[in-house]
Amino acid sequence: MQQFTVLELLSQEINHTEVEVKGWVRTFRANRFIALNDGSTLKNIQCVVDFENFDEALLKRITTGAAIHITGELVESQGKGQTVEVQVKTLNILGDSDPETYPIQPKKHSFEFLREHAHLRTRTNTFSAVMRLRSALSFAIHKYFNEHGFYYMHAPIITGSDAEGAGEMFKVTSLDHNNLPKTEEGKTDYSKDFFGKETNLTVSGQLEAETYAMSLGKVYTFGPTFRAENSNTSRHLAEFWMIEPEVAFMDLAGNMDLAEDFLKYVLKYVLDNNAEDLEFLDKRLQDEDKRKPQAERNDMTLIEKLKFVTDNNFKRVSYTEAIDILRNSKPNKKKKFQYIIDEWGADLQSEHERFLVEKHFKCPVILFDYPANIKAFYMRLNDDGKTVRAMDILFPGIGEIVGGAQREERLEVLKEKMAAIDIPEEELWWYLDLRKFGTAVHSGFGLGFERLVMFATGMGNIRDVIPYPRTPQNAEF
Ligand code: 4AD
Ligand code: MG
């Protein structure tokens, strides 16, 4: 007898063969109909029990959440909603589930409740759909880069450089906190620590990726990154995954083209390959919308939104143009923004980014050429001496999804910029070496993976698109 997943069973020809399937009971109706799910698809397979043939004690153990093993005949379904079903011959309980205490009852649960039961939440339709999409998106990302001649590079997770993450890094140490070795000045003596120096969890693999771009040409990283910023928002995690391509001989315009092509490709991939899960999440959003006041409803469905991104060009706008638009905007004039924009040089807050994307342009926007002093030291200084070749991509409902730049490739300029913000040259000697030995124009960007998953699934909180979210005061599981 052949064992099948539910997905395989549902696409079988009805040939009355004996099949075998294992999964978890979603519901058991009328002592007769088991809806069985094994995670391979959103759909359940209906397994029909002829209750006269089974022991009552056994039937009682077919409860929501129980793991069971069924053999039976695959037949045409009499009921609506499925073409095939299994006529049960044998039924084994692999693992009981106490219906009194099993948290995932067949009813609507709030996302807050499910976050507290994150170890079981993928047994719901919404979370299994989100996590299958997360998996598909990550595959599509590797596929894109593989098809475009990029090498996958593993940047270190423990880093000895803290130049990029000043102030928001998690320390990595094996010292005993209750008995720290001290230097003569009374500071912690990190020379006694595991690595003989201060080390942190990385905030970005970019600087290391640059070293590989400057030898292998086209590379990307895709790994976890960590930020100890205390932002308790629906878009920030302390541990999140980032995709960082880095390409030699590519300027900012090429960087924008790459980012746009890449984002369209991965979204198109899930539109083409994950229709069932997307349709489910689309419907979920539409139901949620119906309960909202008219003004807060989405003007596009989830699938329309994804197609809109794959089918239209992103709007490319300089920071200076964006500031003009914002300065003259209604919410700015009526002081509806929390941060009023009155001068060139102001940093953009998410309220401004969202105004540009959602109200003004109504499409993804690439903002570029930001003021140097609100962006990182490694960004290429423009000839005007005050802006840098930075780019941020803003998505509707999300805000910033990508941050990137053409890198400063001129040794002297880079040294000056580092000196201006007190980054010692010794700390980034290897990074400076790239500018000493065969420097060249190069660019890259970072895509926040969870923000992409939020966009693709329509989920409103970043905690609901990563298996086990790490946020301030929360590292359960
Ligand atoms: O804009 P960021 O900070 O850029 C960098 O780290 C660059 N080194 C990237 C590069 O050029 N290679 O972060 C990149 C993206 C953001 O646009 C956002 O999508 C995401 O990472 N991100 C976060 N996602 C979740 N939680 C956080 N705390 C995030 N911080 C940034
Ligand atoms: Mg950024």
Please report, in tens digits, the pLDDT of each residue of the chain (477 residues total): 889 999 999 998 877 789 999 999 999 999 999 999 999 999 999 999 998 999 999 999 999 999 999 999 999 988 787 889 999 999 999 999 999 999 999 899 999 999 999 999 999 999 999 999 999 999 999 999 999 999 999 999 999 987 777 779 999 999 999 999 999 999 999 999 999 999 999 999 999 999 999 999 999 999 999 999 888 999 999 999 999 999 999 999 999 999 999 999 999 999 999 999 999 999 999 999 999 998 888 889 999 999 999 999 999 999 999 999 999 999 999 999 999 999 999 999 999 999 999 999 999 999 999 999 999 999 999 999 999 999 999 999 999 999 999 999 999 999 999 999 999 999 999 999 999 999 999 999 999 999 999 999 999 999 999 999 999 999 999
* Ligand closest to the CA atom of residue 207: 1
- Nearest-atom index, ligand 1, CA of 393: 17
Cβ(23) to ligand 1 under 6 A? no
- Compute how many other C-beta atoms are within 10 angstroms of the C-beta atom of residue 317: 19
Tell me how far the alpha carbon of residue 445 lies from the centroid of ligand 2, in angstroms. Answer: 10
Burial class (CB within 10 angstroms; exposed 0-12, middle 13-18, buried 19+) of 337: middle
Question: How many Cα atoms within 13 Å fall on the side-chain side of residue 296?
Answer: 7
* Ligand closest to the CA atom of residue 401: 1
**Pairing between β-strand 33-37 and β-strand 18-29 as defined by DSSP bridges:** antiparallel
Torsional class of 249: left (φ above 0), alpha (ψ -120 to 50), beta (otherwise): left
Q: What is the pTM of this model?
A: 0.97
**DSSP codes, 222-236:** EEEEE------STT-
Name, in order, each residue with C-beta under 8 angstroms of 212's C-beta and a sequence gap of 6 or more: 151, 153, 219, 246
Tell me how far the alpha carbon of residue 164 lies from the centroid of ligand 2, in angstroms. Answer: 12
Cβ(222) to ligand 1 under 6 A? no
**DSSP codes, 133-146:** HHHHHHHHHHHHHH
* Ligand closest to the CA atom of residue 394: 1
Tell me how far the alpha carbon of residue 451 lies from the centroid of ligand 1, in angstroms. Answer: 10
Tell me how far the alpha carbon of residue 108 lies from the centroid of ligand 2, in angstroms. Answer: 36
What gap in Å lies between CA 234 and CA 232, rounded to an integer?
7
Cβ(208) to ligand 1 under 6 A? no
Please tell me the residue having the least CA distance from ligand 1 atom 24. Answer: 448
Cβ(404) to ligand 1 under 6 A? yes
- Nearest-atom index, ligand 1, CA of 227: 28
Please tell me the residue having the least CA distance from ligand 1 atom 29. Answer: 236
Give the residue, out of 242, 365, 407, 471, with the most ligand 1 atoms within 8 A of its beta carbon, to mutate for a pocket test.
Answer: 242
Please tell me the residue having the least CA distance from ligand 1 atom 7. Answer: 446
What the chain holds in terms of domains, given with CATH numbers, is: 2-102 (2.40.50.140), 123-167+203-464 (3.30.930.10), 175-199 (no CATH)
Cβ(465) to ligand 1 under 6 A? no
Give the residue, out of 451, 455, 459, with the most ligand 1 atoms within 8 A of its beta carbon, to mutate for a pocket test.
Answer: 451
Cβ(204) to ligand 1 under 6 A? yes
